Structure 1
Amino acid sequence: MKIITVRRAALPALLLPLLSLSDAQAADEQTMVVSASPQAVSELDTPAAVSVVNGEDMRHAAPQVNLSESLGAVPGLQVQNRQNYAQDLQLSVRGFGSRSTFGVRGIRIYVDGIPSTMPDGQGQTSNIDIGSIDNVEVLRGPFSALYGNSSGGVVNVTTQTGQQPTTLEANSYYGSFGSWRYGLKASGAVGDGTQAGDVDYTVSTSRFNTHGYRDHSGARKNLANAKLGVRINDVSKLTLLFNSVDIKANDPGGLSYSEWRADPRQSPRGDQYNTRKETKQTQAGLHYERELSAHDDLSVMMYAGERQTTQYQSIPMAPQLKPSHSGGVIDLDRHYQGIDTRWTHRGELLVPVTFTTGLDYENMSEKRKGYENYVLNNSVPEYGQQGAMRRNERNLMWNLDPYLQTQWQLTDKLTLDAGVRYSSVWFDSNDSYVTPGNGDDSGDASYHKWLPAGSLKYAVTDAWNVYVSAGRGFETPTINELSYRPDNQSGLNFGLEPSTNETVEIGSKARIGNGLLTAALFQTDTDNEIVTDTSSGGRTTYKNAGKTRRQGAELSLDQQFGESWKLKAAWTWLDATYRSNVCDDSNCNGNRIPGIARNMGYASFGYEPEMGWYAGSDIRYMSDIMANDENTAKAPSWTVVGLNTGYKFGLGDNWKMDLYGRVDNLFDREYAGSVIVNESNGRYYEPAPGRNYGVGLSVAYQFQ
């Protein structure tokens, strides 16, 4: 074990593609005990743009439903709530992922080391249980590339490890629009985790229901998460992970500008077509850690899961009459598994050096079917019902990535980090729906790329570091983007290439009092950016757009005054533009990339004592966002304010309670919470709710 004295309690291990923080907890606010497998460093000492958000802060006077509630203080991270639980959050890091019309893409997401991003780069946040989060790390910049395909940024979620004493907690939240959430959590440990047979556990479950702010936007979500650790002996530990989510959600869809202004709560297509989505996902993992010697450690993460999705879309009958149309109902059945094995060695080679090498393998098999979203009743279509089959295929995706990273302590003040990953991604599609006018779309494709990254960090003082880093990343098309060719011929779109990007970053971090100030300047140049080519008849094709540039600055401050006053602030400036023409009917060279705000700001200030009354406020700003490549449509800028207050108290030595209330969008601002990029019908806008309220109660009992 190694003792590190720091000013911040949450420390990341995101520099390496290892995805594991220490299971040890902070001994107090100034000292944290971390295992040396791998060697962890403080947020201050990490030579990369990485932010750590504490789980307790995410649960403080919050509904605990969406990540958008609590990640506003992370610079460079744009999280927008679509108010649509059928499509997940809209999440991007420094502009990567902004074009996603559903789910999350271009960003790697992990929960306790298990990817929530599939091998092709498509991911989701729906399985993240905020009630059991220990911390969330958000990595931006060059070192993201060491996570492989579609790693424009990395979001790493670590759930709580059980500790003594055993604690039972029940919590609830009731808010506007018929929203409520119930949660239960049990955590504890047998022993202190150092002896053979010691066990730790955290088990949580929650249920969320809402009528939704908009018409036809109700949802129900059941979520469960479990983490069980067993100390095998004094040098090895085994951790069992389990996660399950079950969602039923209506889909209100996007609105045109005139519809939005006339009535932001309406859902004309949702009501007409009964658009909705059902998702069930269950996964389990096994993490084995072993100290091979005083200088060597071994880690093996194995996992497997399945995800079933059924979605009804708002597609009229006429386009579906075309032989090539795949229908208005999507039926997906996915199975995925993987293993990440790594070895870490700490020693000396003229100077102190750490090597980590590993092999990451992931695969996913997908059965994708499509059906008409109507049945005929006296020649009149009744929408929202499954009709005839229009698509039937089996898709396979897998990757095999060896990686290596080293850290060299060149002098007492100068540190070199360098790493490389060789990422290989394969796609294979077998089409079983071949009819006249709808040919055989079977085929296969593969992509391979070396992904290097490096950084130099100089410690000006013990409390002030500066660094410079650079790296190369890449992003393959998803299987959905490969499915069709723009020339209406059969087979996969083999002409679609992965996009590649090169990033340079300069940053500085300084400890100021009991807090941290960070700043970063960056530039990312991308070749072969993947964008929409054609969208008609329900079939969308994609193309490579040439060159783009993202350049910007990030600034953040996390400060605590005295024992109870807390301040968080962040500002992001991001200029993301096309550097070649991506539009067929106009010149888009120089246009802003849609879906990306040029400026984002966040600030929160609160009085948060350990017990008694507390109160706080936050303000969020986002500049206007372009909705299409032509820059002819945009969502206006907005600023919203939130307030919260509550009271924490105890009953005896065992009971603790927290009763709180909050109001969001205090001044009832009308704004678009997100946009659907390049929506072919001009229905770009997904309205956010006006002023809304909520109250919550948490009750915990500790067995002494």
Structure 2
Amino acid sequence: MRPSTPLRTTLAAACWLACATAPAWAQTETVVVTGSPRAQRVMDAPFAITSIDATALRNAGPMVNLSEALVAVPGLVVNNRNNYAQDLQISARGFGARAGFGVRGLRLYTDGIPATMPDGQGQVAHFDLAGAQRVEVLRGPFSVLYGNSSGGVIALFSAPVTRAEAELGADAGSFGLRQARASVAAPLGQGFDLRASLSTLETDGFRPQSAADRRLANVRLGWQGASDRVVLLVSDHAQDAQDPLGLSAADLRADPQGTAAVATQFNTRKTIAQTQAGVNWRHQFADGGVLRESSLSLHSGQRSVVQYLAIPAATQANVRHGGGVIDFDRRYEGVEARLQFGWPGVDAVAGVALERQTDDRLGYENFTGTSAAPTALGVQGRLRRDETNTAESRDAFLQADWALGPSLSATAGVRSGRVAIDVNDRYISGLNGNDSGSLRFDYTNPVLGLRYTAAPGWVLHASVARGFESPTLGELAYSADNSGFNKTLQGQTSRQAELGSKWRSAALDVDATVFVVNTDDEIGVRSNTGGRSSFQNVGRTKRHGAELATTWRPATGLKLQAALSWLQAEYADGFSTCTSAPCPTTANPAVAVPAGNRIAGTQRALAWAQAAWRTGPLGGEWALEWRATARTMANDLNTAAAPGHALAHLRWSGRLALGAADSLELLARVDNLFNRDHVGSVIVNDGNGRFYEPGAPRSLLLSARWQHRF
């Protein structure tokens, strides 16, 4: 079994160590590198981008899931499924909303190493939030410069080594949550520095069949010379998790914190092991010429997954079924080379990237005995699938910033690439024929943006772009009749436009954005039954919406924040889908989805607000948080939906100096303060009708972090 990650450190971002090499003013102002040829303030970026700093990450929870802190980002949905056997559900402006597993339609990076594969699917479970300096979230047209499946970008940057220090941390919370963390960082002399961290997590979960444990280790070794900087990054992630599955509407009403009976019957669970390494070498040219900097990045990794599903034995009697146990080993690697140029008034970056993933995929029955009379369930049985899946991407990119005047600047870029997908089927037995196949997808994504300084502290920006999203290996696995490789599925293209305004003053910050996205050949679900999902192109979709983020400081120590999002995401063309297998037949005809239906997995409105009051070193900071979401459509037919809900959370955080070299940080949180039953996420278009994943009831978290400076 093997891991996952490609590289795609975009033309405008890709500085693995940007956090360590940012200019001096980055220490006092929020600086981002995602989406731009060089590090720049959020205020100066001609696109919608949000940076979440380390303090916000620490205060949001145990620093396990991105959903803890990214609720403050407008236009972004990050649902905690409260299920460690499934990755978070993440979407930006509706991109990625249809994903039933993994993260779809967005580009993910941790220290420049892609967590999104060349086929467009990614994972974030290995993100080390405790060691992060910040997380950057890019929304809108400029995300297309990251290539295939880039409806948005989420990039984590680890904290740089600035001094010798050691840290121990511990978390304890409701439902058996226990976490321990340790890290050490030190300059080693002669230009070398080192940071290493290790964390372990255990939880019983609030639902039966939802226990999990996770181990995460990271090492960062850097070297700084007169003109060069080299950084080596190594990470290892291991996780075992039970899977409580989703609930039907009836089961949700009967027990809002229950577990599907088939989950315990089949002992549904998932095991992950992932190891990856990456190195980045940056060279600065000091001769004052046009060429300013070069960068070469390499990464490689392995990811292994074994997952036991709750597919009935009778369903697997179909000779073409792939079984109820997923077992795959993934190898992935990538390389990117960049050159940064500079002329008076112009900054530019050009580069090429190559990424590849190879999945050795097996499938087994999840029972022993016969399908008519199984003797044991939730165990590995006979082999039912044996194939090698390969995805490769090749890209070239160029981006430039021009200063057109004292108040006006322009940014333009283009990324052109190819995604090649191949399936080599080795399991050929009787009526189960050869399901091998291959497809090639070519794309060119241009983007153009303008930034205008209307007044001191007030910036306007506008941008347009074209994007592309190829089908993933999972979406190509089965054709419309649930047989072999889906040779008819094509990539979807989008046309995006955005207008935005940014205001900064001593007391008030306001970011406002409106956008429109029109998509052709949108990829949607054809059927999702019997443990198999098949996909189709459903025609045109349209999305438009608005986003607002504000921070108000009305008095010393008091900070009020809010993030509001409105999204209208709907199908512009009608299409047909299937609700049962086989599809379609006379007994099970296709069902019409009319134009105007909302895209499953999207919400019309989201809101987040926080009032934080700092009372001094001993009193710490008190904060009241509030989050609300409108109802979420669970299927394309719009016949099932999770009701909207609003939750309140209370927290206290403080820092205590323990002498000259030691300090203690404390955090206490009460989440879901009023203990409201709610649906945390939906499993989009689930063929069994188990759409609903319950949100956590009232829970308590206590955290402590001790730091020692040498």
TM range (shorter): over 0.9
Matched residue, 1:260? 252
Correspondence list, 1:458-477, <5 A: 458-477=452-471
Q: Secondary structure at the match of 2:223?
A: strand
Shift of 1:538: 2.7
**After the TM superposition, which residues 242-257 of structure 1 pair with which residues of structure 2 at under 5 Å, given as runs?**
242-257=234-249
Deviation at 1:484, TM superposition (A): 1.7
**SS of match in other structure, 2:229:** strand
Give CA deviations for 1:339-364 in whole Å, capped at 9, x if unaligned.
1110000014xxx2112100011001
Matched residue type, 2:526: D
Give, in whole Å, the separation in 2 of the partners of 1:76 and 1:131: 24
- Point out the more displaced range, 555-564 or 441-450: 555-564
2:269 & 2:375 partners in 1: Cα distance? 18
The AA in structure 1 aligned to 2:550 is L
Structure 1, unpaired ranges of 5+: 1-12, 192-196
Superposition RMSD in Å: 2.0
Q: Secondary structure at the match of 2:489?
A: coil
Return the match for 1:221 from 214, 217, 223: 214
SS in structure 2 opposite 1:82? coil
CA–CA distance in structure 1, aligned partners of residues 561 and 324 of structure 2: 45
Q: Contact conserved, 2:349 with 2:399, CA < 8 A, in 1?
A: yes
Matched, 1:548 2:555: no
- SS of 1:44's partner is helix
- Taking the aligned partners of 2:687 and 2:530, their CA distance within structure 1 comes to 10
**Letter matched to residue 586 of structure 1:** A
Q: How many corresponding residue pairs? A: 680
**Maintained 8 Å contact 1:61/1:696:** no
**Shift of residue 242 of structure 1?**
1.1
Determine which of 340, 363, 378 is the counterpart of 2:356. Answer: 363
Aligned residue number for residue 376 of structure 1: 369
Matches within 5 A, 1:519-530: 519-530=512-523
Residue 3 of structure 1 is matched in structure 2 by none
Aligned counterparts of 2:137 and 2:117: Cα–Cα separation in 1: 18
- What letter matches 2:103 in structure 1? V
DSSP-derived class of the 2:315 partner = helix
Aligned to 2:228: 236
Amino acid at match of 2:357: M
Q: What one-letter code is carried by the residue in structure 1 that aligns with 2:606?
A: M
Which residue in the other structure is 1:696 paired with?
Answer: 703
Secondary structure at 1:222's aligned position in 2?
strand
Aligned residue type for 2:166? L
Deviation at 1:381, TM superposition (A): 3.3
**Where does residue 581 of structure 2 map in the other structure?**
none
CA-CA distance at 1:462 after TM superposition: 3.0
Matches within 5 A, 1:491-530: 492-513=485-506, 516-530=509-523
Measure the CA separation in 2 of the matches of 1:228 and 1:488. 48
What letter is aligned with 2:442? H
Whole-Å separation in 2 of the counterparts to 1:77 and 1:508: 18
Q: Which of 672-681 and 14-23 deviates more?
A: 14-23
CA deviation vs aligned residue, 1:6-65 (integer Å, no higher than 9, x gap): xxxxxxx98814354241466686468999x95321100100000000012211262111
Q: 1:482 to 1:548 in 2, by over 3 A?
A: same
Partner of 1:650: 657
Kept after mapping to 1: 8 A contact 2:67/2:78: yes
Are 1:510 and 1:518, in contact at CA under 8 Å, matched by a contact in 2? yes
C-alpha distance in 2, partners of 1:247/1:275?
14
Query: How far did 1:611 drift?
Result: 2.6
The residue number in structure 1 matching 2:137 is 138
Tell me which residue corresponds to 2:314.
Answer: 318
**1:619–1:337 Cα change, 3 Å:** same
CA distance in structure 2 between the aligned counterparts of 1:272 and 1:163, rounded to whole angstroms: 52
> 1:501-543 deviations in whole A, cap 9, x for unaligned?
0100000101021553100000000011111112333332110
Alignment match, 1:442: 436
Q: Does the 8 A contact of 2:37 with 2:347 survive in 1?
A: no
Which has the higher mean CA deviation after the structures are superposed, 643-652 or 603-612? 603-612
| Residue type of the alignment partner of 1:269 | V
Distance 1:162 1:559, change over 3 A: farther
How big is each residue's C-alpha offset from its partner over 1:104-134, in whole Å with a ceiling of 9 and x where there is no partner? Answer: 1100000000000000011011010111001
Match of 2:196 among 170, 194, 203: 203
> What is the CA distance between 1:198 and its match in structure 2?
1.5
- Of the three residues 398, 402, 414, the one matched with 2:396 is 402
**Please, which runs of 5 or more residues in structure 2 have no aligned partner?**
1-8, 577-589
Q: Deviations over 1:550-577 (max 9, x none)?
A: 1000000134466633332100000100
The amino acid that maps onto 2:234 is F
Measure the CA separation in 2 of the matches of 1:563 and 1:24.
Answer: 32
Q: Distance in 2 between matches of 1:34 and 1:73?
A: 17
Q: CA deviation at 1:225?
A: 1.6
**Offset from partner CA, 1:574-618 (integer Å, 9 cap, x none):** 010010113342342101111111100001121246732221110
Residues 648 and 485 (structure 1), Cα distance of their counterparts in 2 relative to 1, 3 Å cut: same
Q: Distance in 2 between matches of 1:83 and 1:237?
A: 40
Deviation at 1:488, TM superposition (A): 5.1
Residues 229 and 254 (structure 1), Cα distance of their counterparts in 2 relative to 1, 3 Å cut: same
Residue 429 and residue 31 in structure 1: after superposition, are their counterparts in 2 closer, same or farther (change >3 A)? closer
> Partners of 1:473 and 1:203 in 2: how far apart?
38
SS across alignment from 2:56: helix
The 2-side partners of 1:688 and 1:433 are apart by 40
Q: Distance in 2 between matches of 1:628 and 1:239?
A: 45
- Residue 312 of structure 1 and its aligned partner are, at CA, apart by 0.1
Structure 1: distance between partners of 2:30 and 2:330: 40
Aligned to 2:693: 686
Report the CA distance shift for 1:515/1:183 in structure 2 as closer, same or farther (over 3 A): farther
Query: Could you tell me whether the CA contact under 8 Å between 2:412 and 2:447 is conserved in 1?
Result: yes
Which AA in structure 2 matches 1:501? Answer: S
SS in 2 for 1:481: coil
2:595 aligned counterpart, secondary structure: coil
Partner of 1:168: 166
Q: Deviations over 1:132-185 (max 9, x none)?
A: 001100000001000001100000110111112x11111111111011111111
Contact kept, 8 Å, 1:518 with 1:556, in 2: the verdict is yes
Cα distance in structure 1, aligned partners of 2:207 and 2:188: 48
Query: 1:161, 1:200 within 8 Å by CA — same for their partners in 2?
Result: no
SS of residue paired to 1:58: helix
1:415 pairs with one of 406, 409, 415? 409
Q: In the alignment, is residue 23 of structure 1 matched against residue 1 of structure 2?
A: no
Indicate whether 1:602 and 2:626 are aligned. no
The aligned counterpart of 2:3 is none
Partner Cα distance (1:14, 1:368) in 2 = 30
Change (3 A) 1:517 1:90: same
Alignment partner of 1:618 is 2:610: no
Shift of 1:481: 1.1
Q: Where do 1:578-589 residues align within 5 Å?
A: 578-583=571-576, 584-589=590-595
- Give the deviation of 1:90 after TM superposition: 0.7
Letter in 2 for 1:637: G
Change (3 A) 1:414 1:282: same
Residues 175 and 206, structure 2, Cα contact 8 Å, conserved in 1: yes
- 1:189 deviates by 2.2
TM-score, structure 1 normalization: 0.93
1:56-205 matches, within 5 Å, as 56-60=55-59, 62-164=61-163, 166-190=164-188, 197-205=190-198
User: Does 139-148 or 654-663 show the bigger shift?
Assistant: 654-663
Q: How does 1:468-487 map to 2 (within 5 A)?
A: 468-487=462-481
Q: Distance in 1 between matches of 2:32 and 2:380?
A: 54
Verify the 8 A CA contact 1:161 1:227 in the aligned structure 2. Answer: no
- Which residue in 1 is equivalent to 2:323? 327
* Contact 2:479-2:486 at 8 Å conserved across structures: yes
Tell me if structure 1 keeps the 8 A contact 2:470–2:491. Answer: yes
Alignment pair present for 1:431 and 2:438: no
1:6 matched residue in structure 2: none
Q: Matches of 1:455 and 1:516 in 2, distance apart?
A: 22
Contact 2:320 2:483 in 1 (8 A): no
For 2:508 and 2:53, how far apart are their aligned partners in 1? 14
